[in-house]
Amino acid sequence: MSFFRSRWVEQPPQASEVEPTALPRGYRAAGVAAGIKPVGLDVGVLVSDEPATASAARFCHSALLGAPVVASREARTDALRAIVASSGNANVADGGRGLATARAGQQAAADALGLQADDVGIAATGVIGRELPRDRLTEGVAQAAAALGDDADSFTRSIMTTDRGPKRVCLDVDLPSGRVLVSAQAKGAGMIQPHFATMFCFVQTDAAMAHETVELLTGVCVKRSFDRISVDGQLSTSDTVFVMANGASGVRVEPESADELAFGEALDALMRQLAFEIVADGEGAQRVGRIVVRGAPELVEPVARAVAGSPLVKTQLHGADPNFGRILQSTGQALAGTGAPFLVDLEIEGRQVVSGGQVVPLDDGEWRALEEAVKRDQVEYVLSLPGDEGETEVFFSDLSHEYVTINSEYTT
Amino acid sequence: MSFFRSRWVEQPPQASEVEPTALPRGYRAAGVAAGIKPVGLDVGVLVSDEPATASAARFCHSALLGAPVVASREARTDALRAIVASSGNANVADGGRGLATARAGQQAAADALGLQADDVGIAATGVIGRELPRDRLTEGVAQAAAALGDDADSFTRSIMTTDRGPKRVCLDVDLPSGRVLVSAQAKGAGMIQPHFATMFCFVQTDAAMAHETVELLTGVCVKRSFDRISVDGQLSTSDTVFVMANGASGVRVEPESADELAFGEALDALMRQLAFEIVADGEGAQRVGRIVVRGAPELVEPVARAVAGSPLVKTQLHGADPNFGRILQSTGQALAGTGAPFLVDLEIEGRQVVSGGQVVPLDDGEWRALEEAVKRDQVEYVLSLPGDEGETEVFFSDLSHEYVTINSEYTT
């Protein structure tokens, strides 16, 4: 199957898929089993061999931040040379000890790679509120640094937690000035919400660009991708995006050029599809919904979030139930106190079912067609509120028995 | 088992339980099967035979209100004589037709009971966005009015939807000025949240009191009960509380008297226990959590709601998992952007597990004791935030497989 399996993300014509674990020129990566998890790969290192690498970073906005996020924010996020990522323990709420452990992880990578500690971004995912064994992290980093290769497979697997499979891609992008590669590795399945989520996304390209260009493209693309998804409405402590551009291709992407536009389109599609993958791989998820909300700019975001976050809407998506009363109910909840009249229109899979806040009568045939339409893997709802000029979307997963099983039996 | 089975609600010494389906003097009730549901009782009528009945009402605050709520708000909510309640169809989002149906239900009761239509409060619960068959409602009202008796059993059953059993009580309250009875019937199991929820609570007493007293006591007690619970964070379109005082006992409750205090205590305990029952009977619920949050007044409410509403906390309660990282995570999410430092203390069942935002080390014995403590039916979490003078609580249910089954297979 193509990487671009979402009906809502188009593959840009200038981007073609290559081997998904491939890395662009000048990058190496590895993942090892260091004993942080009971079993499996759990520490990864990725490095750019080009000294002039430009980068950008984004982190979640929780009041409770993991120590790796704190340590990474203090690093040179505009010129990162390496990433340390680990899974099994998020290193959160462990005070000064946790922060010292994160810094020790950066230092271990710097020592092994001939870099400074602040050249290294660090990220961790897993259980909150437990001590991350420092020795296992630093020894894992040393082992991974000794095992670096030009394939991202083991690195990608080292960042998985409840993910059903690795999420990675490598695109060959045909820019006006030449061909570049863009690879990415992501993880995330639960605690997925508002300002991108318990998710990592690491992107590497061998295009050459200024930090300002990486920063701009990262900001725009994250807002349109990881910022528009929800599995369970829960903001993580540890969300991290690192984007690196090392210039090894010799193809330069100048600001406001046709190259920037073409590269940006590819990066946007790549991040949107990975964001979709995180939702599709949401803990226990079997279906993906897309809620589009149009109307007054100040209303669209809270309504879209309310619908996407409602356990009643999510169980309905799970059960492939065409009943849409719960979408109206959650919209009513979000609009409470705004003074907006409940004059909403609702379309499900292109069929209008509510007009001006009132149910549109459907005959038996229309109802059966609606029942069939909501059985698809990807279901689209379009809600129009009073007002105009605002529009937003949120991708969300269904709520299944498996979500409950995972989260009542697995300690995160 | 005593009605007062919650460890967090004390039975006031002046209140003793009598037969739970009993009604105070001067009230009659009945419920019938009118065909709104495929099977079972679905239309109920309750009447006070005393012309001088005082009453108070509370409704939910959604921007999408059921037609019965709209019709009830236009009735004489300070002097209601009768209640019509139905289940199976909430009569929401059906425009002018739905409102006319609600009014026809009031008129049918008025006709059968020799009252005016605006003496009648009306409430409906069930599926949203479908036509409520008007004839079935009005014929059901006529049948129920013809079957009125001095027992609330069939009335209570006629308002059930996904409730596992009827929720009702009758208390004999020994006031300084004499004995009065207070009975109540409630329903609710899903769409339960913020400003009391898809819940009904109808309270009847034969105490005599002015409308202002009923209004005051209802307002205070609802805020401390139905406003403090969450099953799934979903605000309903149809929440309704009606409290009636008909004076048939001859015992008068004057404002700011010892009678008012004693009656208020009993009403408070009654409503808090019924609120607890709604949570304990939350769709699929097996355990009840209580989160108490202390700290700056503007912080306690959003944090308590975030913890109580988190599917990760709720699945953890379900799995009797002592891991508290998810409570910290949801607190961090709620505090994001407030500028409050993450200096939180957390106690679970009286054991401190977090101090100043940092995990308190537990030895194996302490950890095992914590594991045992969270296996109880009722689990208490106390969270202290920066600041003082604020305190709130929310009762919440766990999230189970059965919730998913109910909500993916049942059309609400």
With beta carbons under 8 A apart, name residues in chain B contacting A236. Answer: 329
CATH class in words for A15-280: alpha beta
C-alpha to C-alpha distances, A192 to A112, A188, A395, nearest whole angstrom: 33, 7, 11
3-state secondary structure of A358: strand
Closest CB from B191, B332, B401 relative to A237: B332
Distance CA A395, CA A225 (A): 9
Cβ under 8 Å to B: A residues 179-238: 190-191, 232-237
Q: In chain B, which residues have their Cβ closer than 8 Å to the Cβ of A408?
A: 315-316, 318-319, 321, 399-400
ipTM: 0.76
Could you say which of B128, B236, B359 has the minimum Cβ distance to residue A129? B359
Choose among B61, B357, B408: nearest Cβ to A315. B408
The H or E element containing residue A58 is strand A54-59
Q: A334: which chain B residues are within 8 Å (Cβ-Cβ)?
A: 63
Contact B325 A128 (CB under 8 A): yes
Task: Give CA A193 to chain center in angstroms.
Answer: 10
Judged by a CB distance cut-off of 8 A, whether residue A302 touches chain B is no
Q: What value does the CA radius of gyration of chain A take, rounded to a whole number of Å?
A: 22
8 Å CB contact between B63 and A329? no
Residue pLDDT, tens place only, B362-405: 899 999 999 999 999 999 999 999 998 999 999 998 888 887 78
Would you state the CATH architecture of domain B288-409? Roll (3.10)
Burial (Cβ within 10 Å: 0-12, 13-18, ≥19) of residue B38: exposed
Side chain identity at A133, as an amino acid letter?
A: P
Nearest to A328 by CA among B128, B125, B192: B128
Residue of B nearest to A89 (CA): B325
C-alpha B136/C-alpha B111 separation (Å) is 16
Residue-wise burial string across A285-301, b where 16 or more C-beta atoms lie within 10 A, e elsewhere: bebbbbbbbbbeeebbe
Q: Average pLDDT over chain B, rounded to whole?
A: 90
For residue B8, the model assigns a pLDDT of 86
What token pair was written down for A104?
């020790």
Contact A331 B409 (CB under 8 A): no
Task: Quote the CA–CA distance of A143 and A409 in Å, as a whole number.
Answer: 32
CB contact under 8 A, B403 and A311: yes
- The proportion of chain B whose per-residue pLDDT surpasses 70, expressed as a percent, equals 96
Q: What pLDDT does residue A412 have?
A: 46
pLDDT band for position A304 (cuts 50, 70, 90): very high
Q: Judge whether B198 counts as a catalytic residue.
A: yes
Of A61, A129, A408, the CB nearest to B315: A408
φ/ψ of B345, rounded to 5, equals -110, 145
Using alpha carbons only, what angle is made at residue B345 by residues B344 and B348, rounded to the nearest 5 degrees?
Answer: 135
Q: How confident is the model at residue B269 (pLDDT cuts 50, 70, 90)?
A: very high
Question: Which pLDDT score is estimated for A61?
Answer: 81
Q: Name the residue facing B328 among A129, A315, A335 (closest C-beta).
A: A129
Residue whose C-alpha is closest to residue B302's, from B394, B232, B220: B394
Per-residue confidence (pLDDT) for residue B193, from 0 to 100: 43
Which one is catalytic: A198, A205, A218, A392?
A198
According to DSSP, the residues that pair with B292 across neighbouring strands are B382, B393
Check if B15-280 and B288-409 are the same fold. no
Find the distance separating the first CA and the last CA of chain A, reported in whole Å. Answer: 31
Contact of B128 with chain A, judged by CB distance below 8 Å, is answered with yes
Give the closest residue to B250 by CA, choosing from B50, B384, B92, B410: B50
Query: Nearest chain B Cα to A283, which residue?
Result: B312
Q: Do B62 and A333 touch (CB under 8 A)?
A: yes
DSSP state of A169: E
Residue A194 has pLDDT above 50, yes or no: no
CA A327 remoteness from chain centre: 25
Neighbours of B378 (CB within 10 A): 16
Per CB-CB distance under 8 Å, the chain A contacts of B232 are: 310-312
Q: Could you report how far apart the first and last alpha carbons of chain B are, in Å?
A: 31
So what's the pLDDT on residue B411?
Answer: 53
- Note whether A323 contacts B127, CB cutoff 8 Å: yes
Cross-strand partners of A59: A240
- Rounded CA-CA distance A361/B240 in Å is 28
- Token pair of B95, please? 């425009």
The average confidence (pLDDT) of chain A is 90
Residue A285: the pLDDT is: 81
**pLDDT at position A105:** 98
A67 contacts on B by Cβ (under 8 Å): none
Instruction: Give the strand pairing for A54-59 and A240-245.
Output: antiparallel
Instruction: Give me the residue label for tokens 């549109």.
Output: A360
Instruction: Give the closest of A61, A92, A94 to B336, CB-based.
Output: A61
Chain A: closest CA distance from residue B162 (Å): 14
Q: What is the pLDDT of residue A344?
A: 93
Using a CB-CB cut-off of 8 Å, the residues of chain A touching B234 are: 310-312, 326, 329-330, 333
Confidence (pLDDT) at B345: 95
Between positions 321 and 340 of B, the ones with CB within 8 A of A are: 321, 323-326, 328-338, 340
pLDDT band of B333, cuts 50, 70, 90: confident
CA B164 to chain centre: 15
Mutation target vs A (from B59, B312, B403; most A CBs, 10 A cutoff): B312
Stretch B181-192: mean pLDDT: 80
Confidence of residue A345 (pLDDT cuts 50, 70, 90): very high
**Cut 0.90: pTM above it:** no
Residue B35: what pLDDT? 96
Question: Which B residues in the span 360-379 are in contact with A, Cβ-Cβ below 8 Å?
Answer: none
Q: Which amino acid is at A362?
A: L
Residue in A with minimal Cα distance to B236:
A329
For the stretch B37-60, pLDDT in tens is 999 999 999 999 999 999 999 998
Domain ranges of chain A: 15-280, 288-409
B412 pLDDT more than 60: no
Q: How far apart are CA A60 and CA A300, in angstroms?
A: 22
Dig out the tokens for B219 from the structure: 């307002």
Mean pLDDT calculated for residue range B50-79: 93
Q: How far apart are CA A390 and CA A293, in angstroms?
A: 8
Q: How many residues does this entry show for chain A?
A: 412
Q: Which of A154, A238, A158 is nearest to A200 (CA)?
A: A238
